[in-house]
Amino acid sequence: MSSINTEKIRQNADLINPISACPFGDPIAECPFIPFYRINDERKQIEQIEVIPQEELNELRKFHRACMERYRNGEWKPKKTCIQVRKMDNK
């Protein structure tokens, strides 16, 4: 098992959440993070940061920040995440 405690992963730690799962529920159709979600293993998803060129990571970061901005501006409402669904089921 490779380490996820590497300099490159630490420098790009802000991408771990969007690479692991869409923080807004279901991703939009043009989301570049969708291929990572198909991996369906969080550790393997995070390990991808090591092999992706930094320029591409920077582009992923730009996309994610723009997506967050659109959410904050109310351009769309997030769909329920699995965590929200579990909380509702437990009521």
Q: Write the CA distances from 58 to 34, 63, 80, integer angstroms.
A: 17, 9, 27
pLDDT, tens only, 23-55: 888 888 899 999 999 998 999 999 999 999 999
Sequence letter at residue 55: E
Residue 2 lies in a domain: no
Domain that holds residue 17: 7-89
Higher local confidence (pLDDT), 75 or 20: 20
Residue 78 lies in a domain: yes
Does the predicted model carry a pTM greater than 0.85? no
Residue 39 lies in a domain: yes
Residue 84 lies in a domain: yes
Cα–Cα distance for residue pair 91/52, rounded to 1 Å: 41
- Share the mean pLDDT of the chain: 85
Give how many domains the chain has, as a whole number: 1
Residue 1 lies in a domain: no
